[in-house]
Amino acid sequence: MTNNKSKIINVISNYNTSSQMTAKLLIDKLNAKDFIVPPKYDNNAELNICVGGDGAFLRAVHKYKFTSIPFVGINTGHLGFFQEILPESIDNFIDKYINRDYVVEKIFLVKSKIYTKANCFQLFGVNEIVIKGIQSKVVHLEIFIDGNHLEKFCGDGIIISTPVGSTAYNFSSGGSIVYPSLNTLQITPLSPISSRAYRSLTNSAIVPGDVTITIKPEYKYENSILIIVDGFEYKYDNITEINFTIPEKVISRLNFDKNMYWNNLKSKFL
């Protein structure tokens, strides 16, 4: 690992052929501008460039443990909400980066604390954390907001999404789009069932970022809960309670176009 932080850039690519070709081209162009691209991930780098789609971006953030090194993405995938730069715009991107023609955006995360009868576990998500039943079984959950009982939920599950995650699984499940700079969490039901025994909200609810969302499975469902964080599955035995908050930890992303968010919404969804 080199000790010279300046001019070091990590290039992180998935194994897709087009991504690998784009990454090689990018590395050649960065080297030509006197940047150092290490063969392995360097914790002293000034920037992480992720080549691929949104999935590649999320995997990189999790793999490198929500590093404080800023990210920017080159999109060789389909959706590209996190991946702002097109492969044909690499030269323009490098020039703008050298000239510091960008802003640094902070991306809020969601943190969950999973309490079992014996332990406590902690998970962080960029887009969302989902509570579902194993093998797609219906789950029964008590949901509280800052200790206030909200609902006795019955259905396929609950999504707790961040603002940046509002356009992902949340949106496809009927949730609202939330602008990324807003400090909020969103609770979105998955196939809610309302009956005399269970009263479930049929729409999403957006709550302030300084509150705690608590989900408690009914005792007979303690071992049938699946937790999915940005597509990664986790299983814990004897879950008694799960708390969701917005942590102080954030990740940073470079934005080279102040209109990118609205352009993305229009081009991806309309």
pLDDT at 5: 53
Residues 152 and 201: beta-carbon distance below 8 Å: no
Q: Are residues 237 and 142 in the same domain?
A: yes
d(CA 14, CA 50) in angstroms, rounded, equals 8
Please report whether residue 3 resides in a domain: no
Is 18 inside any structural domain? yes
* Catalytic status, residue 54: yes
CATH code for position 172: 2.60.200.30
- Token pair of 82 as six digits: 């996190």
What's the whole-number mean pLDDT along residues 14-43?
Answer: 96
Q: What is the pLDDT of residue 229?
A: 98
Q: What is the mean pLDDT of the chain?
A: 92
Report if residue 215 sits inside a domain.
yes
User: Of the given ranges (64-73, 101-110, 178-187, 214-223), which has the lowest mean pLDDT?
Assistant: 214-223
* Residue 58 to residue 92: CA distance in whole angstroms: 24
pLDDT at 108 over 50: yes
pLDDT at 257 over 80: yes
Same domain? 123 vs 228: yes
pLDDT digits (tens, 9 = 90+) for 211-254: 999 999 987 777 789 999 999 999 999 999 999 999 999 999 99
Domain count along the chain: 2
* Structural domain containing residue 38: 9-107+250-269
pLDDT attached to residue 262:
84
- Is 99 in the same domain as 121? no
In a domain, 4, yes or no: no
For the entire predicted model, the pTM comes to: 0.92
Distance in angstroms (rounded) separating the CA atoms of residues 231 and 88: 29
Res. 3: pLDDT tops 70: no
CA distance 64 to 40: 12
Catalytic: which of 28, 34, 54, 101?
54
Q: Please write the tens of the pLDDT for every residue from 134-177.
A: 988 899 999 999 999 999 999 999 999 999 999 999 999 999 99
DSSP labels, the chain: --S--TTBEEEEE-S-HHHHHHHHHHHHHHHHTT-B--SS--TT-SEEEEEE-HHHHHHHHHHTTT-SS-EEEEE-SS--SS--B-GGGHHHHHHHHHTT-SEEEEEE-EEEEEEESS-EEEEEESSEEEEEEGGG--EEEEEEETTEEEEEEEESEEEEE-TGGGGTHHHHTTPPP--TTS-EEEEEEES----SS-B--SS-EEEETTS-EEEEE-GGGTTSEEEEETTEEEE-SSEEEEEEE--S-EEEEEES-TTHHHHHHHHHH-
User: Higher pLDDT residue, 178 or 198?
Assistant: 178
Residues 118 and 205 placed together within one structural domain of the fold:
yes
One domain, residues 114 and 240: yes
